[in-house]
Amino acid sequence: MKKTLVIILSLSLLVLILGRGEQALAISADDFIPPVEGGSTEVEGKVAEENGVVTAETAQDGFNHANQELDFIQQNFKTVEFPSGIGYLAGGSHRYQTHENPDATLLEKRLAYVIAYTKAKAELARGLRGGESMAKEKLLEHIDNVVTSTDTVANIAQNYDEDIVQATEALLRGYVIYDVKDDTDSQTVTVTIATSNKTLAAVANVSGGLVQSASINEGLDYILKQVNNGVVPPLGGRVITVPETGEIAIVSFGSEIILSHDDPNVEATMKQGAQRAAQMRSLDAMVGIIEGDEMAWQGGYMMSREFQHQDYELIRDNNGEIVERKILGEAKKTFTTKIQQTNAYQSFREGRFPPGVNTQLYEDGSWMYAISVYLPNISQEAEDFYEQMQNPGASDSESEESDDEILSDEYKSGDDDTEQGPSGEVSPSEEL
């Protein structure tokens, strides 16, 4: 109880010391514990790849190699095999536009992170579950021959239609955001996510990033260090576990762009709106971590080809009757191809975020971030207190549940505004 209260007070203290601008980056779980260093991004051991399957002596080398080899065009999913298990890596990318209005650029850049993240989840779902495919082709030919005493002519019309629809759907749990990058030269954001038997087993009924640490404070300090370095994307979340004690904390993130305005009163109102949006997105991410994320994708490809060879043209009267077949001096040939492609993504979450979740806000330039922390002990105390409010006569024994539960059954289911966005490794490979 005392330890969890210290964590909440430490997080509350963060808001008082964050401030604005560059000073806002100097945050720590308690400002006394040295930050936990992340893993290397280099491939140090022997790695082999065949048919999209990466084999390595360590998970770190395997995932690092797979991440480097993704091209986000043809290669969006890879299998990683290592002595202690197996894992999978998937990536997505999205381009953004820059605008004269820096607010518009920042809004589009943040959306690029979300879209790339969504595409990465769709690639992971498709790689793990496969999908369904339905296709059809249609060919229609029409030939008109005309033979006269002097000529033999023909009009030929050919139409070919192709239609392919593919779809996949999966409930994703136990995946971490592995790497994010904002390439300002090509104006492209890339996001890769990874999962392994270790993360899947460790989080059990909880999905998201896993951090194992000697204490909750150390784990929080590690995550906040990544925020300091700008490598935690403005979405998703992490899970901190302490193997020795079984303690768990869930940390989720949300963000929004702080819009600028010449009128200070209007700007203050928009800032409040950014705070609310970031907090709502952070709590939504918390629900996704606890409940799971239902990911669905449907893609379509439609091609229509028309070809015509015309030796003559029909001359009709006012009633539409053919009065003459006029032979052309030179045959007319036309060729037209129309191609349409569609991609529909849907990510769905639904559920309750636990009581007692502590959400703190901080600013980094034009970005407003929200960090929500769920500690089961604090949550249980808030829930018990609410029950006592509804039932003042109930005894303490009636309102108290087992404090050993990590998650109660109720929650178990299933100054430059256009600077580079968060970029870097998010989940060190040793966590996988």
Q: Are 218 and 209 in contact (CB under 8 A)?
A: no
Cα distance between residue 17 and residue 26, in whole Å: 8
- The answer for residues whose C-beta is within 8 angstroms of residue 247's C-beta and 6 or more apart is 215, 216, 241
**3-state class (DSSP) for residue 359:** strand
Cα distance between residue 385 and residue 399, in whole Å: 8
How high is the pLDDT of residue 295? 85
**The length of the chain, given as a count of residues:** 432
One-letter amino acid at 142 equals H
Residue by residue, what is the 3-state secondary structure of 62-85?
HHHHHHHHCCCCCCCEEEEEECCE
Give the pLDDT of the chain (432 residues) as one tens digit per residue. Answer: 333 333 333 333 333 323 333 333 333 332 212 122 245 667 778 888 888 899 988 888 888 888 888 888 878 899 988 888 888 989 999 999 999 999 999 999 989 988 998 899 899 998 888 889 999 999 999 998 888 878 888 999 999 999 999 999 888 876 777 788 888 899 999 988 888 876 665 444 343 344 555 566 666 666 666 555 555 556 777 666 665 566 667 778 888 999 989 999 998 999 999 999 999 998 988 887 777 778 888 999 999 999 999 988 888 888 878 777 888 888 899 999 999 999 998 888 888 887 878 888 888 788 888 888 887 665 566 666 666 666 766 554 444 443 433 333 443 333 555 567 767 666 555 556
Strand order in the sheet with 77-82: 47-50, 53-56, 77-82, 85-95, 188-196, 175-183, 424-425
Q: Are 384 and 405 in contact (CB under 8 A)?
A: no
Cα distance between residue 208 and residue 358, in whole Å: 18
What is the sign, positive or negative, of the torsion defined by CA atoms of 419, 41, 431, 51? positive
Cα distance between residue 118 and residue 125, in whole Å: 11
How high is the pLDDT of residue 167? 92
How high is the pLDDT of residue 389? 65
How high is the pLDDT of residue 285? 85
pTM, to two decimals: 0.66
**3-state class (DSSP) for residue 140:** strand
How high is the pLDDT of residue 52? 80
What is the sign, positive or negative, of the torsion defined by CA atoms of 118, 120, 121, 122? positive
How high is the pLDDT of residue 13? 30
- The answer for residues whose C-beta is within 8 angstroms of residue 293's C-beta and 6 or more apart is 121, 171, 172, 173, 207, 347, 348, 349
Q: What is the DSSP string of 256-289?
A: EE----SSHHHHHHHHHHHHHHHHHHHHHHHHHH
Other C-beta atoms lying within 10 Å of the C-beta of residue 327: 14
CA distances in angstroms from 357 to 278, 352, 360, listed in the order given:
15, 11, 10
- The answer for residues whose C-beta is within 8 angstroms of residue 404's C-beta and 6 or more apart is 246
Cα distance between residue 316 and residue 319, in whole Å: 8
How high is the pLDDT of residue 307? 94
What is the sign, positive or negative, of the torsion defined by CA atoms of 75, 89, 176, 206? positive
Provide the b/e sequence for 163-183 (b: ≥16 CB within 10 Å): eeebebbbebbbbbbbbbbbe
Burial class of 8 by CB neighbour count within 10 A (0 to 12, 13 to 18, 19+) = middle
Q: Are 65 and 47 in contact (CB under 8 A)?
A: yes
